Amino acid sequence: MEFLVSSGIINSYFRKLNDSLRTDVAVVGGGPSGLLAAALLAEKGYSVNLYEKSLAPGGGMWGGAMMFTSILIERNAASIAEESGMILAPGERGNYVVDSVQATAALINRACCSGVRIFNCISVEDLTFDRNEEVNGVVINWFPVLQKGLMVDPLMTGAKAVLDATGHPAEIATGLARKNGVKLSTASGGVAGERSLNVELGERNTVEFTCEVYPGLFVSGMSACAVGGGYRMGPVFGGMLLSGSKVADLIVKRIERKQL
């Protein structure tokens, strides 16, 4: 029996890993924008890998604000929140309050049920390029390996589009610009860096700056804000959902363009 437990786990994990080696979309980071984008793309029939370096996906959504487990969703994002399974309670000025734990669990559940392959404890440490210098995949390693600073080479996965949804550090776009000296599609051609807090502008910036920042590489959520030079917005999450939804549409357009 003990042997069967182990072989069941190993066989199913290796099947998942093997199936993931060439995918339509690689999402880096399992915060709200990455989870929603992944779910929407999988629901449209695309194959999606989501890499999350922590044990649990969810990013900065679990903790609410200062660990008060409530967050605000603006009314223009209420329908996405509701269709994702979040339980909305009426808040101030027509906006909504949701329990951050329930909301995060709902997004993870939507991603899992739509067929997204979630790889937790795996970090994306770099990107791969094709002959035209377009991004065509990710370089992955166990996050504990990187944390310990062990000298272990990574593995690679091919993807038609990569999404940097790594939140405030915008790790992937920042690494791409730093290592390769390439120009991003931002005003300065580089990573502008996140500004201080303004709820209204931050929410708007998050959606505005969601884009294909380099051929094959997209940014969403706080990563989009940091790359484009937008404001942070604190415990307000409507912009993250709208950004996830916008980037899913942009990624579909790229994949369709590439298939012509």
Q: Which residues bind ligand 48F (CB under 6 A)?
A: 28-34, 51-54, 59-61, 123-124, 165-168, 171, 221-223, 232-237, 240
Residue 211 CB, nearest approach to ligand 48F (Å): 14
Report the residue number, 2 or 140, with the smaller CB distance to ligand 48F.
Answer: 140
Question: To the nearest whole angstrom, how small is the minimum distance from the Cβ of residue 248 to ligand 48F?
Answer: 13
Beta bridge partners, 128, equal 137
| CA 251, chain centre distance (Å) | 13
Q: How crowded is residue 134: how many other Cβ atoms within 10 Å of its Cβ?
A: 15
Measured from the CB atom, the residue of 38 and 184 that comes closer to ligand 48F is: 38
**Exposure string over 43-55, b if 16+ CB within 10 A, otherwise e:** beebbbbbbbbee
Locate 159 and state its tokens: 């993807």
**Are the beta carbons of 73 and 95 closer than 8 angstroms?**
yes
CB-nearer residue toward ligand 48F: 47 or 58: 58
> How many C-beta neighbours within 10 Å does residue 11 have?
10
Nearer to ligand 48F, 34 or 216 (CB): 34
Shortest separation between residue 62's beta carbon and ligand 48F, angstroms: 9
Nearest approach, Cβ of residue 166 and ligand 48F (Å):
4
Closest contact distance (angstroms) between CB of 2 and ligand 48F is 32
The one-letter amino acid code at 220 reads S
Kindly give, in sequence order, each residue whose CB lies less than 8 Å from that of residue 254, ignoring residues fewer than 6 positions away. 160, 161, 212, 216, 218
Of 115 and 235, the one with the shorter C-beta distance to ligand 48F is 235
